[in-house]
Homo-oligomer: A and B are copies of this chain.
């Protein structure tokens, strides 16, 4: 027993890691429409083990996206810290779109308009709260269109979900072009256009 206990703990940790790796890969490639059984199969564990580690699907989703949530938050923190609010805002749009086309499941979870799917609702509220000040400053500077609402940003990120359906090879390029178009759409009417971020 003395020798078995650490082994059991190590196995349990190993199972947990394998489940998360499997869930991340399947969510990223297919979005959130992935069954628990498929995740267990890919992880090479039984369904009972999966449910013991993650009693509900939502537990698994939240855990699987810890890294993306951190990255997402950092993008917004960096944008808010920019002295030039319009440049900060543009950078946020570019980087969030680039992050989102890499991971279908994350953008599903982050931007879903279906309340049952709104697993990261607290995370989203925090991000939008942080962006609020940046947006006000960019609007006050006359750079961001006056009728911009944070819903527009959510709309654009959700549209990015469509781009994540393309083959991986072209996704980053598509996201960059789409981000440039989005920024131009959100720009206040006026003369010249700045260089892209």
Contacts and interface: CB of A to CB of B under 8 A. Distances in A.
A109 to B, nearest CB: 12
B165 A152 contact: no
Interface in A89-122: 107-108, 112-114
A12 interface: no
A24 interface: no
A174 interface: yes
A163 B162 contact: yes
A165 B161 contact: yes
A174 B177 CA distance: 21
B186 A181 contact: yes
Contacts of A163: 155, 158-159, 162
A114 B165 CA distance: 9
Given A162-B161, A193-B189, A155 B182 contact: no
**Which of A145, A184, A186, A191 has the largest number of chain B CB atoms within 10 A?**
A184
Contacts of A193: 189
A108 B165 CA distance: 9
B170 A162 contact: no
B162 A158 contact: yes
Interface in A155-197: 155-156, 158-167, 170, 174, 177-178, 181-182, 184-186, 189-193
19 contacts: A108-B165, A112-B165, A114-B167, A145-B184, A155-B177, A155-B178, A158-B166, A159-B163, A160-B162, A161-B161, A162-B162, A162-B164, A181-B182, A181-B185, A184-B184, A184-B185, A189-B191, A189-B193, A190-B191
